[in-house]
Structure 1
Amino acid sequence: MTEQLSLFAPEKTAPEGLRYAAEFIAPALERELIGQISALPLQPFQFGAFEGKRRVASFGFRYDYTLQRLQSAEPIPEWLLPLIEKVEAFGGPSTKIAQVLCTEYDVGVGIGWHRDKPHFDRIFGLSLGSPCKFRFRRAIGEKWQRYTLEAAPRSLYMMAGESRRVWEHSIPGVEAPRRSITFRTMADQKR
């Protein structure tokens, strides 16, 4: 049996610091959150002079790409507070969410390769409505090491350590409408 197993490629290992929880919330809460996000004054994502196809609303803080600095944003809405408590419990005792980003993706919309701004520390993402391929890559010499997380609806991921600071991440165009809520801690906090 071991000889046969050696014919298959080894299973790819998740980036260090990446945690995933399937079914983090119930379907009823997912529907409620999708409704809350749909009711927000979502705006196209601004990346300097460019406008992204996804629509967003930031709370607590937002990064201004034109000024290249963090700005204050609207306070985090009360309807997100119970969810933040649950995310903070998942992150551990020192977790304090300071920034929230609600995002709407239409069919075909994704996000290119990037790392979140260094002002933020740990990143948590709640996937709503449809699955997505959450891709990771890091340079190893002249090649890329890659990993794909199949983020199911109602699941939560956390990026910390190398998955946050070394690996880039992206989402290819989604096949069905999707919403997400991203929760961020600040870099100057204790971990």
Structure 2
Amino acid sequence: MSDQLALFAASPSHMPEGLHYMEDFISSATEQELIAQVAALPLRPFQFGIYEGKRRVVSFGFNYDYTKQRLEDAEQIPPWLLPIVAQVEAHGGEGTRIAQVGCIEYGTGVGIGWHRDKPQFDRIFGLSLRSPCKFRFRKPNGSKWQRFTLDAAPRSLYMMSGESRQVWEHSIPGVEAPRYSIMFRTMAKRP
């Protein structure tokens, strides 16, 4: 996998361990095609138990049900997403198998609070579309927080693994312009 990670841009030393970032992962034309496909999906407000989030989402492969607190099967990854899944898997390196894809729409002013992705997932890849966002990270450091912000540009791909995935929390403050993202997740190995 380390040879493949060389395809990601060099990570600054203050970046959380396991966080990798690559600008211009896709072309502008591919971005426009993906935006059109995602916008045409039956996106629904994010359900967090009894609460409803402002971002709109749809999942493929698996969906996490917050009421039942478990993964459930979702519709198969659609054919139009398979080429980009293959591209993400190639950049993830040998053995990377994307099992879950989430498509997300953020309206102006919409973000996502501090969290870590569910432990059933391993590596997380995020493809930013249409507009940039501030992708924030934090982890406890004594009585304070150690923080890092990644400026995620449109068409860029980031990958979270290791400490950036398991120790650091991440969030996105309200975006300044409408934004889409496609999340690609591998599954954690079961003990």
User: Which residue type is aligned with residue 75 of structure 1?
Assistant: Q
- 1:151: which partner in 2? 152
Distance in 2, Cα, partners of 1:74 & 1:188? 22
Distance in 2, Cα, partners of 1:83 & 1:37? 13
Identity of matched residues, %: 72
Shift of 1:76: 0.3
Distance in 1, Cα, partners of 2:182 & 2:41? 13
- 1:78: which partner in 2? 79
- 2:4: which partner in 1? none
> What runs of 5+ residues in structure 1 fail to find an aligned partner?
1-10
Distance in 2, Cα, partners of 1:16 & 1:30? 28
Kindly report structure 1 stretches of 4+ aligned residues shifted beyond 6 Å: none
- 1:140: which partner in 2? 141
- 2:3: which partner in 1? none
- 2:65: which partner in 1? 64
Per-residue CA deviation, residues 109-156 of structure 1 (Å, 9 max, x unaligned), is: 000000000000000000000000000000011110000000000000
Which has the higher Rg, Structure 1 or Structure 2?
1
Distance in 2, Cα, partners of 1:172 & 1:140? 21
Distance in 2, Cα, partners of 1:19 & 1:96? 18
Distance in 2, Cα, partners of 1:170 & 1:164? 12
Q: May I ask how many residue pairs the two structures share in their alignment?
A: 179
Distance in 1, Cα, partners of 2:49 & 2:41? 22
Distance in 1, Cα, partners of 2:145 & 2:39? 37
- Partner SS for 1:175: coil
**1:123-134 pair list within 5 angstroms:** 123-134=124-135
Distance in 2, Cα, partners of 1:148 & 1:91? 22
What CA RMSD, in Å, does the superposition of the two structures yield over aligned residues?
1.0
Distance in 1, Cα, partners of 2:65 & 2:187? 16
Q: TM-score w.r.t. structure 1 length?
A: 0.92
Shift of 1:30: 0.3
Q: TM-score w.r.t. structure 2 length?
A: 0.92
- Partner SS for 1:124: strand
User: Which residue type is aligned with residue 184 of structure 2?
Assistant: F
User: Which residue type is aligned with residue 126 of structure 1?
Assistant: L
Matched, 1:115 2:107: no
Tell me, yes or no, if the aligned pair for 1:12 and 1:147 is still in contact at 8 Å. Answer: no
Distance in 1, Cα, partners of 2:110 & 2:92? 29
- Partner SS for 1:89: helix
Distance in 1, Cα, partners of 2:86 & 2:75? 19
- Partner SS for 2:180: strand
Distance in 1, Cα, partners of 2:129 & 2:70? 29
- 2:100: which partner in 1? 99
